[in-house]
C-alpha cells in the first residue's frame, strides 16, 4: 500500500481514540488529524513518522466546518466515527466535495438514525426481529404496550447517545417511559416518535461487520454491558464495558447467526438500492426460537471498538480503503487469538447529572502494563493537567490468552487510575466465566 500523507478522523470519544490508535500503527500513515479529538487522541503518534496526532477544535456535528476543514487539509481518507454526523449526512457532503470517506451515507445510516425506518426495513425484508409498532400518540402506544403485558422496550425514534431505550417489565414502567418520551420530551426531538418493541428473552450479543456495498466481513462476537451498575441493574448507558469473543458461541454458530441476520439485510439493501459502505453493528438477542435483531447501528460500537481493534491483526487502513473501494473480498481480515475486556470508568452520577473537571491520576502507570491500553472517552488537558470532560471518561482495555486473565488485567489497570467520583462496574465479562 502506498503511503498516505494524512487521514482525518471525525469524533471525540473512546471509539475514535481506538480508531486513531489503530490507524496510527499502519505502516503507510504519515499523519492524522482528529476533529475534535480529546486529550488521549492528541497524545498518539504515527508509527511510520513519529508525527503526533493533531486535534482540531471542530465539532463532529458541524458539517459545513468539517467540509471546509477537509478542503483545507486534503486528507487521503476521512474516517467518521460517531452516529450523529452520519445521520446529518457528513459522508454525502464530503463526497460531494470530492473527498474519500469511510462510513455509510445518510440514506444507509437511516438503519440506525431512525428506529421506525429500521423496524420497517427488518419486517419488509425478513430480518428476524421482535414484534413492534411506531407511535406518536401516547394512548395508542400504551394500548400496544398493554398487548405485550408491559414487557417491552420503549425506544426513541432518533439518536439519543445510547440512552434512548427504556426496558420495561410492567404496564406502569411502560406508561412512564411513553409519557417521558412523548409528553415530557425527555429526549427532545429524538423522541417525537417512538417505537415499542416486544421484550426479547435470551443472551445479548453485539455483531460487527465491515461492508463495502456487497461483501460482508463478520467480526468475532462481543457482549456489551449497557446498564450502569453490577448485575445489569440501573439505567441504560452508552455502555459500561464489553468483552470479546463470547465463549458461548462457536464459529459454526456465529456463521449461522450471521447468515440469518446479514443475508436478508444485504438482500434488502439491494432491493432498496442502499449502498452501505462502512461498519454495520446489529444488536442481537439469541432467543429460544433463534437470533433476533433488536437494533441496527451504522458504526463501531463504543466500547466494542476498544476491544475489537486491539485484537485486529490486519492493517485497519487496508480494510477501510477496501470498504470504500468495493474490494473487501480481496482482503483477509485476521484476528489475534485470545480475549479482550474493556471496563469503562465513569463520572459519579452518570448517566444522570455529573461534574466535570476532575483531575485524573495514574494513567501512565496503567498504560505501562503489558497488553493494556487506556482509551480516552471524555478527557481534556488544562494547564498540563488531565481532567474529566464528560460522563464516560475512560475505557480501560486489556487483552490476554484467556478471558479470566483479560478481566483480571483490566481491573488491575482500573485500580491504578484515580479521579474524584470515579466509578465502574466490577462484573464486566463475569457472566461468561
pLDDT tens-digit series, residues 283-338? 999 999 999 999 999 999 999 999 999 999 999 999 999 999 999 999 999 999 99
Low-confidence ranges of the chain (pLDDT < 50): 1
The verdict on whether omega for the bond into residue 218 sits within 30 degrees of 0, i.e. cis, is: no
Minimal CA–CA distance to 13: which of 420, 399, 393, 351?
A: 393
User: How high is the pLDDT of residue 159?
Assistant: 75
- Crossing angle of helices 138-147/171-178, nearest 10°? 160
User: How high is the pLDDT of residue 164?
Assistant: 78
- Which domains, from first to last, does the chain contain? 7-107 (3.40.50.20), 131-198 (3.30.1490.20), 201-336 (3.30.470.20), 339-433 (3.90.600.10)
Q: Residue 325 in contact with residue 400, Cβ under 8 Å?
A: no
Q: Residue 282 in contact with residue 129, Cβ under 8 Å?
A: no
User: How high is the pLDDT of residue 388?
Assistant: 98
What order do you get walking across the sheet with 223-224 strand by strand?
223-224, 241-244, 339-346, 392-400, 372-376
Beta bridge partners of residue 393, listed in sequence order: none
Minimal CA–CA distance to 155: which of 145, 165, 163?
A: 165
Q: Specify the pairing of strand 379-382 against strand 101-102.
A: unpaired
Q: Which three cell numbers stand for residue 377?
A: 472517552
- Crossing angle of helices 251-271/115-125, nearest 10°? 100
DSSP class per residue in 319-336? HHHHHHHT-GGG----B-
Does the reported pTM lie above 0.75?
A: yes
14 exposure class (CB count in 10 Å sphere: 0-12, 13-18, 19+): buried
| Separation CA 298–CA 292 (nearest Å) | 17
Amino acid at each position: 500500500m502506498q503511503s498516505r500523507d494524512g487521514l482525518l478522523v471525525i469524533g471525540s470519544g473512546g471509539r475514535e481514540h481506538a480508531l486513531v490508535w489503530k490507524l496510527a500503527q499502519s505502516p503507510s500513515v504519515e499523519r492524522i488529524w482528529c476533529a475534535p479529538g480529546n486529550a488521549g487522541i492528541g497524545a498518539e503518534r504515527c508509527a511510520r513518522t513519529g508525527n503526533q496526532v493533531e486535534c482540531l477544535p471542530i465539532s463532529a456535528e458541524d458539517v459545513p466546518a468539517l467540509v471546509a476543514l477537509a478542503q483545507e487539509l486534503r486528507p487521503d481518507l476521512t474516517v467518521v466515527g460517531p452516529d450523529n454526523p452520519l445521520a446529518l449526512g457528513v459522508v454525502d457532503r464530503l463526497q460531494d466535495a470530492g473527498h474519500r470517506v469511510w462510513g455509510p451515507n445518510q440514506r444507509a445510516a437511516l438503519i440506525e438514525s431512525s428506529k421506525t425506518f429500521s423496524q420497517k426495513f427488518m419486517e419488509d425484508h425478513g430480518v428476524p426481529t421482535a414484534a413492534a409498532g411506531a407511535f406518536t400518540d401516547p394512548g395508542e402506544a400504551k394500548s400496544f404496550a398493554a398487548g405485550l403485558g408491559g414487557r417491552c422496550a420503549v425506544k426513541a425514534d432518533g439518536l439519543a447517545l445510547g440512552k434512548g431505550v427504556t426496558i420495561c417489565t410492567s404496564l406502569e414502567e411502560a406508561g412512564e417511559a411513553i409519557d417521558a418520551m412523548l409528553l415530557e420530551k425527555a429526549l427532545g426531538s429524538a423522541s417525537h416518535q417512538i417505537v415499542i418493541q416486544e421484550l426479547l428473552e435470551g443472551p445479548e450479543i453485539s455483531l460487527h461487520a465491515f461492508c463495502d456495498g456487497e461483501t460482508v466481513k463478520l467480526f468475532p462476537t462481543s457482549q456489551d454491558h449497557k446498564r450502569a451498575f453490577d448485575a445489569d441493574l440501573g439505567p441504560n448507558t452508552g455502555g459500561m464495558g464489553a468483552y470479546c469473543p463470547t465463549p458461548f458461541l462457536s464459529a459454526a454458530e456465529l456463521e449461522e447467526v450471521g447468515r440469518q441476520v446479514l443475508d436478508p439485510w444485504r438482500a434488502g439493501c439491494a432491493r432498496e438500492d442502499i449502498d452501505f459502505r462502512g461498519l454495520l453493528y446489529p444488536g442481537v438477542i439469541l432467543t429460544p426460537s433463534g437470533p433476533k435483531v433488536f437494533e441496527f447501528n451504522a458504526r463501531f460500537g463504543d466500547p466494542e471498538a476498544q476491544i475489537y481493534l486491539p485484537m485486529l491483526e490486519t492493517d485497519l487502513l487496508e480494510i477501510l480503503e477496501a470498504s470504500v473501494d468495493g474490494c473487501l473480498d480481496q482482503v483477509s481480515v485476521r484476528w489475534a487469538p485470545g480475549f479482550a475486556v474493556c471496563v469503562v470508568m465513569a463520572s459519579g452520577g452518570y448517566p444522570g447529572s455529573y461534574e466535570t473537571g476532575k483531575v485524573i491520576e495514574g494513567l501512565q502507570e496503567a498504560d505501562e502494563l503489558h497488553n493494556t491500553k487506556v482509551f480516552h472517552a471524555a478527557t481534556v488537558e488544562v494547564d498540563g493537567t488531565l481532567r474529566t470532560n464528560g460522563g464516560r471518561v475512560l475505557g480501560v482495555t486489556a487483552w490476554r490468552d484467556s478471558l479470566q486473565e483479560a478481566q483480571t488485567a483490566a481491573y488491575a489497570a482500573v485500580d491504578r487510575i484515580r479521579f474524584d467520583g470515579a466509578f465502574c462496574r466490577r462484573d464486566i465479562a463475569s457472566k461468561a466465566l
